[in-house]
Structure 1
Amino acid sequence: MFFLRALCLIGALAYQVVSGNVIGVDLGGEFMKVSVVQPGAPLEIVTNFASKRKTETIVTFYKGERFYASDALSYVNRVPASAFAKTKTTLGRDTDHPLVKRMTDEYLLQTDPQFNTTRSGIYYDMASQGPSGGPETYTPEEITAMILGYARDITKAFGGSTVRDAVLTVPSYWTQLERRAYLDAAELAGLKVLALVEENTAAALNFGMDRVHENATTVLFYNMGATATQVTVATYSSYRKGNKKSDKPVGQFEVVGKGLDARLGSHSLDLVLADYLAREFNQQLSKDGSKDVRAVPRAMSKLRAQANKVKEVLSANQEIPVFIPALHEDRDFSTHVSRSQLENLAERFFARAARPVEDALRAAGLAREDIHAVELIGGGVRTPKLQESLRAFFGEEMELGVHLNGDEAMAVGAAFRAANLSTAFKVRTVGMTDISPFAVDLELTDLSTAGDAADAWSKSSLLYDRNAKLDLKKKISFTHAADIRVALSYPAPGQGVDAVNPQLPEGTRAPIANYEVTGIQAFADELAEKGLGAPKVVLHFVQDASGLTVLSRAEATLEEEILVVPEEKEEEKKEVEEKKEEGEEEEKGEEAEAAAAAEGEKKEEKKKAEPTRQTKVHRRALTVTENNAAFALRPMSATELKDSRDKLAELQRLDEYRAAKAAAKNNLESYVLQLRAKFNDNDDLALVCTEEKREELVAEAYRLEDWLYDEGYDEEAAVYDEKRAALKQEMDKVLYRAKELKARPKAVEATRAILAQSRELLAKWAEERPWVTEEERAEAAEKLDKVEAWLEEKVAEQAKLQAHEDPAFAAAQVDAKLKGASAFVSKLAKKPKPAPPKVEKSEEKSDNSTASEESEVQAEDLDAAAEDASAGEAAAGGEEEEEQENSNKEEL
């Protein structure tokens, strides 16, 4: 049975523990997908504010405002230097990283990244579109935090409640530094990350959620995204859970191999096409080739966007016309592109398609014939030529499955994982074992001795081999008497079959983390006088579920052998003393002395037990401190996290301020338009409003509309709210009169009908319900009369008023006045009829009473006879039972 690292959701959610939502976020190079699990609801893909299931991962600042997704995309061509896209690819990397350099050179990053030696990381320098109106800088962690915060916001709008717990997907080729940078971004976004899960592992979990494989089945997942390709080989099986009568199969899977190409993504096809279109346009722009549109960032941005559309269309069509108006220097561009042209242009791209598959099979120790199924996921696998290349590798008999939603499988799997890890849900189980494709080295040195000193103490070893299982703990033990430095790093990739880290991505920095372990020296000094030697130091490591290698704790121990003399047991001592006392009382003379002497000898024998050697363990918990200050690249410090958190909080405050102002302005504008529409469409308003008042209100509406587009264009939210409230107050009076114009006559008519009906009932009750007293009927009639008198008085007052004047009474007042009288009549109607009085027996009995007495006597006689009969039957029954019992005894 596989080593089960975690129990994850595979079916319907069951046994909700506490209320709460969890999300799975799949943040890709171009798009983000979010899946949410809510109590009492099925797992769903979150739709954004534009009702789309995938969201563009871009943030743009324009005139001090921050825009996301499609809104941000619409401003890219206007302010390319203030747009931030694909920033996830710069997390935990520097400007010299091959992928970052490539993306910069090919204009894939709208804003060129720079390196901050003080911060030890990349930052973006934005010109003048930020909230301050001047130059501003943002780190990749801050931009990514903005996008993750947007994911949280759209989930809240979708599900109606705030989310905090999340599982985030990461590429399998991400190193520890990149993963920690992503965790820093999530912390800045206010998310509690339950775990990181690799993209293909999340898809494999989604694949296994409704499948239970009785026999071992090996599935290969081929995932081509926008920037990279990842391949994962997973073996599915099952085990039985429960008792013999009701055991059920539980699915599980184990990742056995991974392959990757961090530079093989579908965006490479966009670049190939964009370069081809640029060369075509250059020929139209200048025959001598003196002008090159590839040196114009804005024009290349348009060409890359068009190339992406062409690629998608050619996945289903053989040819597509291309037209871009005013591409450069007011010149339009038009041409045609065919699928065969694209395949010829990207020949080297398709030739590399199967290499990650070979790497994954080699890591798993399998051949292509050992693969039972292939699943294609990711947005880049739709290209027909790519599928043709994979089919050529596996053979025509192998089906390239698309049973999963290639765009959403990773987000769904991450949400399942989040539901399992959150305390909000109790879920069904599936076993999952993941691995890390990278090996990790360990080096130990003295903390106080220079590393290059000739006599420096040091030890090194391979801590975790490649393809080691995640969530795997290890202990390293050694003898040492000084504080130490623990350094974790990636071994060099190497070449050939015996290479330690053959899949380590190009440009990866070797250092992972540095730890200082202190307290060893002090512990050794404290016990030096005992001559016990150097302490034994034990370091506890874990490669956790998120793929992070961590020194979790450390301890030191010293063993000391000591002689232990057994103490006399209290019971034995008490027994001897009691016997001695008894002897003193009962025996006298020489016999008593002899007895006492014998007891004394026994006592001495018990006291002469031999001392034993035992081992005493002195134990000390050591202090472990992570110190990566010397790294050229490092995670954010606590101070840097606080500064970034404050910066993002201020941006959020400005966003909310602008949103409130925009909402107030929009509400005022909408109300102005509604007011004019009501006077045009509602004829009743003309009856309850004078011409002068109508003209006054309409004129005020026009004036406010002009004001909104003039001096009131940029006012505070309170100003807009105040003007809307003033206009609404006057308009509400008109609308109130119009409403009462219809409601009041209906209320009067209904009340008169109820009064008449109530009086008819009171008149009938004198004969039909005599138990309703005359006083009660009189009181009810009085209440009805008062209501009628008030009503007629108000009707008379209203008749003297014009329709545009405030009404004398409202329909609601009529209902309120009638309520008391109506309730009193209803109470009388429910009054129950009294029970008839009891009739007392007369001393002189009539013939009927005599007959009745005779009947009673007969009845008593019958009762007595029945009782005698019952007693006889009971006696007979007892005799029968006794006979039966005797018979049973005889049979026994």
Structure 2
Amino acid sequence: MRNMLFRFGVSLSLLSLLLFKSESAVSSIDLGSEWLKVAVVNLKPGQIPITIAINEMSKRKSPALVAFQSETRLLAEEAAGIVARYPDKVFSNLRDMVGKPYRDVKRFADAMDLPFDVVEDFRGAAMIRVSDDVSYSVEELLGMILKYAANLAEFHSKTMVKDMVKDVRWDSGLGGQNMELRLVEYFADEFNKQVGNGVDVRKYPKAMAKLKKQVKRTKEILSANTAAPISVESLHDDRDFRYSSRNLSSPIKTNLHFSLSRSGILSLDQAEAAFQVTEWIEVPKRNLTVENSTIASSNVSVDPGAENTSEQNSNSLESDGEISNASNSTTEPNTVDLGTEKKLKKMTFRIPLKIVEKTMGPGIPLSKESLLNAKSKLEALDKKDAERRRTAELKNNLEEYIYATKEKVQEWLYTDGEDATATEFQERLNLLKAATDPIFFRFKELTARPEAVKFARRYLTELQQTIRGWEKDKPWLPKDKVEELSINIDKFKTWLDEKEAEQQKMSGFSMPVFTSKEVYEKVTGVQNKADSIKKIPKPKPKTEKPINNAETEKDTSGDEKPAEESDSSKNEEDKVEPEMHEEL
């Protein structure tokens, strides 16, 4: 019985694994020199199978940009917002730099007027210096853009994306600035043909600026549509320019297709290049009429916009389908020639490719150590970006809550509180103060407390210097009181250190551990004690007792000599002096 239950449990577990449905999605990235688009395969029922992911600005196309400003990384739309102010901090055209030697990248950056600080790495490839001590390889910067695209796909599909497809084009110049320049040249020639008389619109900068602006706008419209008119009012000499983009031949599209194995691993053994050539051609326009019909019916014409886009074999020619709407007629229709019309023809060719792995020079991939280092750097930047976005989101939530609270209070004040009494207004005021006064107090202490601590430390340092000077300038001050003052200063400093350490552990929403008022009160106490010691006066000098007159006369008489002795000594000195003169 136990064995049967065990087998039944194992079978049920295996069945649950087989019935488990993967929630991962697949996305595709169209990465250009300046822009990128992300397509997502939707897994949820009821949705369009493949859609274009929109970015945070609700746009289908995102700038392929990376920027670093004030140690903050910005991507896509955020980076595009600072291009005008900090052009040397916003990095573009990264797709055209990867896998190329340093000299080629440097030459390319100079030709495109890109103000980047390009340096050479150990492989001979290019790195871009962001700051004095931080540089990123082109692969790392391009990886940041691809990670942004992956996050965009996951946000759009609301599920995890495991597989991504990146198209590879043979000619990177098909699109972007090169395509715009070619279109501008083409339309300039068309305008010159329309005007004639040897006029060349290229000689007029304002006219060319108008044309470039319209070409860029038309190219963006054509990215999601098959046709877009080009119209420029007063292009030159009050002459308008109009042109239909249906007259343009579509460029040749070349993609690389790789087969995925059953395990989901990319297989390079089955690869092919698909060439798709499209062009507009003129074909006879036909109209079907019904004659000798038993029931009157209107003419049925071919819809020139209807197209059959189903692909035939590798060398098949795809053309627009024709609509044949048979009416209740009993006779064969006749064909009437009505001229020609334009239709889109497509041809697709597939060529099998053999992939050979061979890397050399700047195309050598990064070493394992370099890859680990790059991965750690990018992960650190991702965490920093996530924290920055979270901070901005919480700030917006707080701001929204503040405005909502303000509106609710004002709503009561001017509606239900219009006829309130003084007592009700006082109660409302007390309730608001009870809720907001602690907030205002904490906000005030955020700046007042550090200023008080700074003032206290400066005062204590100056007071200690003054005390050391008292030993020389005021030696009469009581040493016990001076020593007691020094002990109080040391205790005050220790108290400040402990309180600041405790305050750093507290959040900004908690009541402060100590306040600026407490600091100033302690400073005042120390100051009063120091003033009381400093005001101790200098003691008066000791005065000698006066000497009696009798003793003074006695001393004076004892010191006097007889007159005869003084006269004799004087005569002896007079005798010695002439003798000295004679010797000289």
TM-score computed with the length of structure 2 as normaliser: 0.46
Q: Highest Rg: 1 or 2?
A: 2
Which of structures 1 and 2 has the larger relative contact order (alpha carbons within 8 angstroms, sep 6+)? Answer: 1
